[in-house]
Structure 1
């Protein structure tokens, strides 16, 4: 393949597949953001359960993290997508619907990856809470600080500071897991690469192009999280110096 033909094939013109790959990359980022947000909610709840004084909550938290970290991600996606479709179809038949009723691939994919992400985020938040100095919490209670104020001014800022590196790792994990959503037909980056490769029969070219885009997203993500960690670190140093 000549260099000109390569540029035309990967270009943004009417005969190129560049726009398809870029839209797939955008879908991957949006899907990962949605999954990370869903995982943050589940992760916070499970972390609270694992730190609870109630044994039943701790057992439930351990069960959740064990299941979603131990079961293969692809199997979880299959269970949510195909199992969810079967459930919706059965319920629809109860109300007179005919035929198969599918579930939205984006919503199910984001929820499935979010549940997986939540298992890892739970451990990140739990470790961050444990890392907060107990003396600060005891001092806040000793002066009669309300619980909500203590959470807002002492616990949450420090938990976010300690958790940020781990959240960056979970983001990278979710970014890669999003490629598995291609089995549902959602046109994220891997699916877009498969479509382009199948249409042109240039499999090596488009899978390499997809890999390059994944690496580009990973590199940008590392820079963003590195910058965020630096900003949070400087903020805590300034607050410590003032105190």
Structure 2
């Protein structure tokens, strides 16, 4: 009588580790993808608005605004992104706690890691975005402003109707590169406990002792996000260039 062998799973062990459910780490990795994408998408508008305002300040006729804008960009372009993250995450907590002590409160206050990551990355993004916007502003001929004023448009109307449409088209290539950099920099938030792709992959690698599988999967996920972004950016570029005359 022959012994009956125990049937083995049809999936390789590595695929079982990446599967969804209690036996695999797929759920955790996918939640990390959602956190990474959510953080990048939340940071983008903050960085764009701050960068645009800093660019306006740097080309202002007011010397103090130009100086403040120059200091801002110098600081946040010069500091390492990880150090900026630590300063926002830990420094903000200390600052709020000290302010609470002055008001007579002794409660412990902890900054949300998602918000800290969004603020820190947004400040770095805005510093570089301001340079892109500033170059775009300088690429628009001065006659565009003068022509708008000549037909009776005010400053706000000139900015909205004449300058911004051209500014967006000129700045898009540089901002697209900054978006790709932002996607990669979201991995830094893993050091302050935010469960992004890298942190979830690291936890899975330590538990299963299969670092190559999970960090390799993280690489593929970041590349997939970059590919999706490239497709979206291509669509935005075509939309922005729809009014240009064919060359």
* TM-score (norm: length of structure 1): 0.92
More helix per residue: 1
What is the Cα-based RMSD across aligned positions, in Å? Answer: 1.8
C-alpha change, 1:137 and 1:18, in structure 2 (3 Å) is same
Higher-Rg structure is: 2
Does 2:193 align with 1:221?
Answer: no
Shift of 1:225: 0.6
Shift of 1:156: 0.8
Does 2:11 align with 1:15?
Answer: no
Number of aligned residue pairs: give it.
Answer: 237
Rounded Cα–Cα distance in structure 2 between residues aligned with 1:114 and 1:21: 24
- Structure 1 unaligned residues grouped into runs of 5+: 239-243
Aligned partner of 1:183 among 181, 187, 191: 191
CA deviations 1:149-190 (Å, max 9, x no partner) are 222211111111111111111111111111111111011111
Q: Describe the SS at the equivalent of 2:30.
A: helix
**Structure 2 counterparts to residues 123-162 of structure 1, below 5 A:** 123-162=131-170
Match in the other structure for 1:195: 203
Match in the other structure for 1:209: 217
Shift of 1:145: 1.9
* TM-score (norm: length of structure 2): 0.90
Match in the other structure for 1:241: none
Shift of 1:92: 3.5
Aligned partner of 1:166 among 150, 166, 174: 174
Does 2:36 align with 1:28?
Answer: yes
Rounded Cα–Cα distance in structure 1 between residues aligned with 2:213 and 2:73: 38
Q: Describe the SS at the equivalent of 2:110.
A: coil
Q: Which shows bigger deviation, 13-22 or 109-118?
A: 13-22
Rounded Cα–Cα distance in structure 2 between residues aligned with 1:52 and 1:156: 17
